[in-house]
Amino acid sequence: MELLFLAVLCLHILKTEAVVGHWCYQSQKCELPQCEGPAQWHQIYEDCRGDRQSPVNIVTRNVVYEKSLKPLSFEGYDVKGSAKWDMQNNGHTVKVALDASPKIGGGGLERKYKAVEFHFHWGLLTEQQILSPGSEHSIDGEKYPMEFHIVHIREDASDVTEAKKSPDGLAVLAFFVEAGEENKNYETLLSKLKNIESKGGSAKVDPLPLSSLLPPEEDLERYYRYQGSLTTPDCYQGVIWTIFETPVQLSLRQLSQFAALHFDGKNSTPMMENFRPAQPLNGREVLWSGASIALPMAQLLLLGLALTCTLSSLSH
């Protein structure tokens, strides 16, 4: 009996030791109370208490229109690579590693950046199709069910570690995801989620043109830009963020497929609410591309009508 007690005690200590000094999301604290939640990340990674942290709440009345924020150029985004993508449950999110390295440039960026991976952050997505806010960034305090990040590194860097040695090493494109129409372009990816339910699970996915996962090209001209950090430890503060106004649409059925995932083993906490809370701006400016700042046609017609009426009244 004593041996059994000692064995159980040792297992408990081992589990405790395994999570001390390990970062986690707040939604994991119930199962792993010793892990370091977002409020404690800075105790392991100093940068997490820096003054240029992400995500942020974007207050639209405070954004600064910046005319240099022209549409980004997407190189190789419409190309379907030959090598299969590697999709993984890394214990924090669904991460898809990219090989072909599509690139972005222009849009106020001082250099080109190559895509290395993409991943998702979401709220509580149940099989009963109940959604709670899960995006990391918010617009005027409003969050979306999900946010999709494509991580890029400097074109001249060989990997993320090398890119982080520069003050502008990373550029992340962020897309909100909302519940709406069925999105057939995501079916290939979503069908593999059941194969990576547990931490460490991986699956090979037939490659897609990255552009097929984004909103239509004409909707990519309107975006916000600011200087920030990675939203997970080590919270590296050299990230150029581009957050697009137009969200990606997935159906409720498609969104609910993420509910199959777990932070650890199959009986562990379901992977949900894997987002970092909004961080202070600390005086940073959020720039806005204002791509369609010209008045829409309907407003121009109304303006023309108003001018006609005004001129007519003046002539009498």
CATH number at residue 290: 3.10.200.10
Domain of 118 in residue numbering reads as 47-294
Give domain status of residue 303, yes or no. Answer: no
Flag residues of the chain having pLDDT under 70.
Answer: 1-21, 127, 129, 291-316
105 and 242 part of one domain? yes
95 and 204 part of one domain? yes
53 and 140 part of one domain? yes
- pLDDT confidence of residue 267: 86
Give domain status of residue 300, yes or no. Answer: no
Give domain status of residue 301, yes or no. Answer: no
pTM: 0.86
- pLDDT confidence of residue 308: 53
Torsion sign, CA atoms 57, 221, 247, 112:
negative
How many whole angstroms separate alpha carbon 263 and alpha carbon 116?
Answer: 23
For 304, the enclosing helix (H) or strand (E) is helix 297-315
176 and 253 part of one domain? yes
- pLDDT confidence of residue 305: 53
92 has catalytic annotation: yes
How many whole angstroms separate alpha carbon 152 and alpha carbon 155?
Answer: 9
17 and 116 part of one domain? no
- pLDDT confidence of residue 81: 86
184 and 52 part of one domain? yes
Q: How many domains is the chain partitioned into structurally?
A: 2
pLDDT digits (tens, 9 = 90+) for 217-227: 999 999 999 99
Give domain status of residue 258, yes or no. Answer: yes
How many whole angstroms separate alpha carbon 271 and alpha carbon 269?
Answer: 6
84 and 8 part of one domain? no
* Contact (Cβ atoms closer than 8 angstroms) between residue 292 and residue 221: yes
145 and 37 part of one domain? no
Report strand pairing: 239-250 vs 170-179: parallel
64 and 188 part of one domain? yes
Q: How far, in Å, are 78, 186, 213, 222 from residue 217 at the CA level?
A: 11, 17, 11, 11
How many whole angstroms separate alpha carbon 149 and alpha carbon 152?
Answer: 10
Catalytically annotated residue among 42, 92, 121, 137: 92
